[in-house]
Amino acid sequence: MATNYSNYVGGEWVAAESGDTFDTHDPAHPDQVVGTYPKSSAADTDAAVAAAVDASEEWGDTPGPERGRVLSRASALLAERKDDITELLVREEGKTRAEAGGEVQRAIDIFDYYGATARDLGGTVKSASAPNTTLRTKNEPLGVAGLITPWNYPIAIPAWKIAPALAAGNAAVIKPATLAPGCVHEIATALEEAGLPDGVLNVVTGPGSEVGDRLASHPAVDAVSFTGSTTVGSAVYDAATEDGKRVQLEMGGKNPTVVSDSADVAEAADIVSAGAFGVTGQACTACSRAIVYEDVYDEFVDAVAARAEAIDPDEGLADSDMGPHVSMDELESTLEYVEVGQEEGATLETGGDALDRKGYFLQPAVFSDVESDYRIAQEEIFGPVLSVISVSDYEEALDVANDVDYGLSASIVTEDHSEANRFVDDIDAGVVKINEKTTGVELHVPFGGMKASSSETYREQGEAGLDFYTISKTVYDNY
């Protein structure tokens, strides 16, 4: 049964000014409507920003420990509703139940983490050069944060933007992706029940061309945090920086895993397949390229193709191996890249076919004989498609790994400790892993990319996640 949702503005659940709505659909059962949401406009966005402005000063003056208690209570409420939120996430976005449950738990943990961290916000004390002087810093909120989030992690990414923004004392307006906005409403509900004052968090659903554009350019918004495609992120950056807003962008990836000749090939195939095919390949950190030393190349191709063939895609609530693409557009985009790879001369070892059933299902694809300049090795493919590239040694592997516009996540599978540490130093990526898949990050350490994967301004998550939402004053007190 479909659920009717509203915008959350100034502590009230309200319809769009126009009364227009849009529906979300279950990607495993496209004929089933999951939710009906307000199709908001720039005017609705203006109302939300005005509510945030009105609430920002009082919330910013609220002591950090009190702000933290609200976030901690929200974490507990989300935990009580974990099963229901998990099912909603599966039905709107398509993840498997296990993947969705892990993501909901991540959101719970993020609110718990920032609830505790809010108690320690303040500044630092330094020794002054002059006598009878205290030298210290004081961190203050920016004011109003505009948050624009994607559909592929519909609760974790909103959580890691909302929680530090509120912990630091800002009010916020969030525009969730139209394909899967339901989990953001669950966050808002939990925060409302946890005692968040009216207007501190506002939720507005609708098209990016209306809500997102207005949020990025609104003169009363002090900072904009965006996660999504590089194309859209670049437009958000231009709109937001025109009047000097602080901007944080996390965008696409073309993430490599290097497989050394010292690696255990079976283990390497497990690591790469988990990174490439987990969450249906719909992750900015997904492994898209396996760069494999020629001595183990053929063995690795056989092993990773076998793992792809063993995956049985099905609806997420059936506890399947892999869920569907989120939409027909996303499925068609992946299928187009499968065609492109074959036209370029790569060998399709397995998969790449849409399944003959309802839903946006694809058998994961593995390409061999891929050259580094092929489009399938250069362009982001938001689906379960892996390109396997042969290299002769470490130097060639590094050249290939860095020979893309992106620099988000990268890993190496090796038993050579020196090689692993060289890779950490040499790779152009914001997240570097040794003997691990490219996906999956800890919440208490910085996250972000390089090159076209990021604005390279501020990192998200951990203590670094608070830096974006605060500004520092330096205080000289001559007593």
Both 234 and 308 in one domain: the answer is: no
Beta strands in 284-379 (DSSP E): 287-293, 347-350, 365-368
Q: Which two tokens stand for residue 403?
A: 């020979």
The contacts found for 294-298 with CB under 8 angstroms, 24 or more apart, are: 294/390, 294/391, 294/392, 295/261, 296/259, 296/261, 296/263, 296/265, 296/268, 297/388, 297/390
Specify the pLDDT at position 63. Answer: 96
148: in domain: yes
Both 275 and 400 in one domain: the answer is: yes
444: in domain: no
271: in domain: yes
Both 262 and 244 in one domain: the answer is: no
What's the domain count of the chain? 2
The answer to whether 8 and 201 have CB atoms below 8 angstroms apart is: yes
CATH code, domain with 468: 3.40.605.10
- Mean pLDDT for the stretch of residues 43-61: 98
Q: Which two tokens stand for residue 132?
A: 């009878």
The answer to whether 308 and 300 have CB atoms below 8 angstroms apart is: no
The answer to whether 155 and 107 have CB atoms below 8 angstroms apart is: yes
Sign of CA dihedral 157, 162, 165, 170: positive
Both 207 and 342 in one domain: the answer is: no
465: in domain: yes
pLDDT tens-place string over residues 356-402: 989 999 999 999 999 999 999 999 999 999 999 999 999 999 999 99
447: in domain: no
Query: How far from 309 is each of 27, 155, 321, 365, CA to CA, in Å?
Result: 22, 30, 11, 9
Specify the pLDDT at position 266. Answer: 98
Both 243 and 276 in one domain: the answer is: no
Q: Which two tokens stand for residue 70?
A: 């609200």
Q: What percent of the chain has pLDDT over 70?
A: 100
β-pair type (133-141, 470-478): antiparallel
Residue 319 pLDDT grade (very low, low, confident, very high; cuts 50, 70, 90): confident
Residue 425 pLDDT grade (very low, low, confident, very high; cuts 50, 70, 90): very high
Q: Which helix (H) or strand (E) holds 62?
A: none
Domain, as residue range, for 190: 3-251+454-478
- Mean pLDDT for the stretch of residues 181-192: 98
- Mean pLDDT for the stretch of residues 14-37: 98
- Mean pLDDT for the stretch of residues 284-293: 98
Both 303 and 397 in one domain: the answer is: yes
Q: Which two tokens stand for residue 426?
A: 């040499």
Given a cut of 80, whether residue 55 has pLDDT beyond it is: yes
443: in domain: no
Both 315 and 426 in one domain: the answer is: yes
The per-residue b/e assignment along 352-379, b for 16 or more CB within 10 angstroms, e otherwise, is bebeeeebbbbbbbbbbbbebebebbbe
Contacts of residue 70, Cβ cutoff 8 Å, sequence gap at least 6: 115, 166, 191, 194, 195, 196
Specify the pLDDT at position 21. Answer: 98
Report the C-alpha gap between 454 and 350 in whole angstroms.
Answer: 33
User: Would you name the residues annotated as active-site residues?
Assistant: 250
Given a cut of 80, whether residue 1 has pLDDT beyond it is: no
Both 273 and 239 in one domain: the answer is: no
- Mean pLDDT for the stretch of residues 276-284: 98
Map residue 411 onto helix, strand or coil: strand
Q: What percent of the chain has pLDDT over 90?
A: 98
Q: Which helix (H) or strand (E) holds 154?
A: none
Both 195 and 161 in one domain: the answer is: yes
The answer to whether 16 and 41 have CB atoms below 8 angstroms apart is: yes
371: in domain: yes
Output the DSSP codes for 201-238. Answer: EEE--S-IIIIIHHHHH-TT--EEEEES-HHHHHHHHH
Both 187 and 40 in one domain: the answer is: yes
Residue 122 pLDDT grade (very low, low, confident, very high; cuts 50, 70, 90): confident
Both 156 and 54 in one domain: the answer is: yes
CATH code, domain with 305: 3.40.309.10
What are the helix (H) ranges across 39-96?
42-61, 64-80, 82-93
Specify the pLDDT at position 468. Answer: 97
β-pair type (287-293, 255-259): parallel
Map residue 394 onto helix, strand or coil: helix
- Mean pLDDT for the stretch of residues 96-118: 98
pTM of the model: 0.96
440: in domain: no
The answer to whether 282 and 229 have CB atoms below 8 angstroms apart is: no
The answer to whether 404 and 378 have CB atoms below 8 angstroms apart is: yes
Both 415 and 367 in one domain: the answer is: yes
β-pair type (3-4, 450-451): unpaired
Longest CA span, the chain: 79
* Average pLDDT over all residues of the chain: 97
